[in-house]
Amino acid sequence: MNYEISMITTMAIAVMFALSLNLITGFCGQISLGHATFQGIGAYAAAMLGKAGWPFLATLPVSMVLAGLLGVIVGLASLRVRADFLAITTMGVGFLFVGIVRQQEFLGGELGISSIPDHGLGRVGFMALALLVCAGVAALSVYIQRSWMGRVFNGIAEDEDTMRVLGIDVPRYKLAAFAMGTALAGLSGAFYTYHLTFIGAESFGFVESITVLSMVVFGGIGSVPGVILAAALLSVLPAWFQVIGDYKLLVYGGLLFLMMRFSPGGMAGLAARFFPTTSLPNRGEK
């Protein structure tokens, strides 16, 4: 039973993380190849605060704020660069984060941080909270997508120049997307820390950023239901098939290639193709 509880918790955390990137990449069209950095900020913040005696629940908002603040700083770069250049910028931030953490002894250096205090909720309680927060993040994503802000995000993703001509403050909305998405990534990082009770810099490197991007693309860029299904599935595959864990970057990179080549809309696009009346909204296919 403990194994099943652990798997469900892992899935919930992965869904939170994937939805946070979907808000930036799926809704607003900003490609990030360093999104794991923001999960790492939340994870390390929760770990340090936990070891300092803070209760688990108190670490959650702090992790979100710190990740969101870094997101705003990185998001400022998105105001000047687009497409490939933004992807390269965020990838560089990811490498910088890993390099800095590995050199700081108070952050555990190469060995990482272990012996993180227990959350005090019990296995079932922690799983239930993770599922509840995951459902809240999903509901927030749907709300944003259907709101006026979501329509502006979609307009920016489709044609940024036209939105500027229409008088939309594009930089403001792009920064808002980065702030919200990175804050939610920090939230998933805090849950990740207390779930594993150990973190290291390698857990938030380039491979993890590609992994979460694969989840968004596989599910369907911009599709909330599709991303949820993809994140839940891909998060447990390494546990089911050991070879995937050994060749994670190869497998997920291959999934990215296959989806972009044969079904740009991901699983949402396939659903729209074979079941038109039950299609899942996404921006992957025109």
pLDDT digit string (tens) for 94-119?
999 999 998 888 888 888 898 899 98
**Averaged pLDDT, 24-33:** 89
pLDDT tier, 263 (very low <50, low <70, confident <90, very high otherwise): low
pLDDT at 275: 60
Q: Distance between CA atoms of 142 and 134, rounded to whole angstroms?
A: 12
Above pLDDT 70, what percent of the chain?
A: 84
pLDDT at 110: 85
pLDDT at 177: 92
* Residues ≥6 apart with Cβ < 8 Å to 161: none
pLDDT tier, 35 (very low <50, low <70, confident <90, very high otherwise): very high
**Averaged pLDDT, 194-199:** 92
C-alpha distances in angstroms, 191 versus 23, 116, 195?
19, 12, 6
Q: Distance between CA atoms of 268 and 79, rounded to whole angstroms?
A: 30
What is the per-residue pLDDT across 36-76, written as a single tens digit (0 to 9) for each? 999 999 999 999 999 999 999 999 999 999 999 999 988 88
Cβ burial, residue 138 (10 Å; 0-12/13-18/19+): middle
pTM of the model as a whole: 0.88
pLDDT tier, 138 (very low <50, low <70, confident <90, very high otherwise): very high
* Residues ≥6 apart with Cβ < 8 Å to 184: 16, 19, 20, 23, 64, 137
What is the per-residue pLDDT across 146-166, written as a single tens digit (0 to 9) for each? 999 999 999 988 888 888 888
* Residues ≥6 apart with Cβ < 8 Å to 211: 36, 234, 248, 252
pLDDT tier, 195 (very low <50, low <70, confident <90, very high otherwise): very high
pLDDT at 166: 86
pLDDT tier, 83 (very low <50, low <70, confident <90, very high otherwise): low
Inform me whether the pLDDT recorded for 279 exceeds 60: no
pLDDT tier, 89 (very low <50, low <70, confident <90, very high otherwise): confident
**Averaged pLDDT, 208-217:** 89
pLDDT at 19: 96
